[in-house]
Copies of this chain bind each other. A is one copy, B any other.
Amino acid sequence: MSTIETNRSWTHFRVDRRNHRYCHVTFDHPPINTITATTVAELSDLVGLIEQDRDLNVVVFDSANRGFYLAHYDLENDPCRTEALGVGPTGLSAWIDVLVRLARAPVVSIASIRGRARGAGSEFVLACDLRFASRENTLLGQWEVGVGVVPGGGPMARLSRLVGRGRALEILLVADDLDGPRAEQYGYVNRLIAEDQLDAEVEAIASRLARFDHDAIARTKSYVDQVTLPDNSELGPPWNDFLELFRRPAQQAQSARLRELGLNTDGEFERSLGGRLVESLPFDEIIETLARTQEGRTAS
C-alpha cells in the first residue's frame, strides 16, 4: 500500500504517483519557484512520506517553469516565517533536515533540471542522488557569498566531496552562475541531456529503476551514503553563520537593494542574477575602488 497519496494537495509542487514504485514531483510556485517556509514545510512532509513508503524506488523532481527550477530562498515573501519552522526529526533546522533526510532515504531521488537553481535551489539538487540537466537551459550557482552571507544549506559539505576543493571554492566564493556545460565539466551535475530529450531520458531511467528490486537499491545506496554523505555535525555551524551574517545591517541594506533591482520577480535581474548581483553591493565600496583606481592612474 502506498503512503504517498496522490489526492493530497500541495501548494508549491504537484505530486504524480506514476506507479507504486515511482513518484513524480513537479515544482510549481509562480512566478519563479522560490523556496519559502511553505516549500520547506511541504517538502518535509513529502520526505516523511517517502521515508515510510516501502514500495517506492524512485522520485523525480522537475519544474513546471522552464526558466526556473528553484530560483533560491525567498526570505521576504514568506508568510509562515522560516525561523518558526524550527528543527526537523534529525535535530537540524528544517531546511537542512529536509535535505539530509532526502539524501539518506532508501529511494533514488533524481533532479531533472531546466532553468535556474541558485542558492537553496542548488542546495536542493545537491541533496538529490542524481542530477540530469538540460544542455541548453541550465544555470546553477551558490550566490550567497556575493550577498555577504555563508551558504546555509550544506553546499560546502556537498560540493567539496562532489567536485573537489578547487572547483567547489570557485563555485562558492566567486558565486557566479555556471551554465550546463561547465556544471557537467565540474561534476556539479551527472551529465547534460538535450533540452528536448531530457524528459524522455529521465523517464526511461526512472522507469528502469522502478522495475528493480527495492532492497538491492536501498542497500547499495546505503553503502555509497556511508562514504559520500557529510556527518550531520558539519551542517549545523554554517546555518548559524548564515543567520548571523544575514542579520547584519549591511546585509539587510543589500537585501533591500536586491529587492529594488527585481529579486524574487520574473524578470531580467533574476535571469542574470549571477552577474548582476554586484549591482547590489555597497556603493561606498565602488566609490573607494574607483578612487584607488584613479590614484593608481594618476601615480603612473
Which of A33-41, A83-91, A112-120, A208-216 lies on the face that meets chain B?
A208-216
Q: Are A212 and B162 in contact (CB under 8 A)?
A: no
Cβ of A278 under 8 Å from chain B: yes
Answer whether A293 and B19 are a contact pair too, CB < 8 Å, given A166-B131, A169-B221, A173-B220: yes
Q: In the assembly, how many copies of this chain are there? A: 3
Is A260 in the interface zone, CB < 8 Å from B? no
Docked CA distance A167–B161 (Å): 12
| A67 interface residue per 8 A CB criterion | no
User: With A160-B224, A285-B211 given, is the CB distance from A145 to B189 under 8 Å?
Assistant: no
Residues of B within 8 A of A175 (CB): 212
Chain B residues lying within 8 Å of A165, measured Cβ to Cβ, are: 129, 161-162, 224, 228-229
- Assess whether A148 is in contact with B238, with CB atoms less than 8 Å apart: no
A164 to chain B, nearest CB (A): 5
Whether A161 contacts B162 in the complex (CB less than 8 A), given A150-B220, A234-B226, comes out as no
- Residues facing B in A157-185 (CB within 8 A) are 157, 159-170, 172-176, 182, 184-185
Most chain B CB inside 10 Å of its own CB: which residue of A163, A209, A219: A219
Given contacts A20-B292, A220-B150, contact A234 B227 (CB under 8 A): yes
A156 interfacial contact with B, CB 8 Å: yes
Instruction: Tell me whether A216 and B148 are in contact in the complex, defined as CB-CB below 8 angstroms, given that A172-B224, A228-B168 are known contacts.
Output: yes
Contact partners of A184 in chain B: CB under 8 A: 185
Task: Find chain B residues with CB under 8 A from A19 CB.
Answer: 288-289, 292-293
Are A230 and B230 closer than 8 Å at their CB atoms?
A: no
Q: Name A residues whose Cβ lies closer than 8 Å to a Cβ of B.
A: 18-20, 108, 129-131, 144-146, 148-151, 156-157, 159-170, 172-176, 182, 184-185, 187, 189-191, 205, 208-213, 215-217, 219-221, 223-224, 226-230, 234, 237-238, 241, 245, 250-251, 278, 281, 285-286, 288-289, 292-293, 296
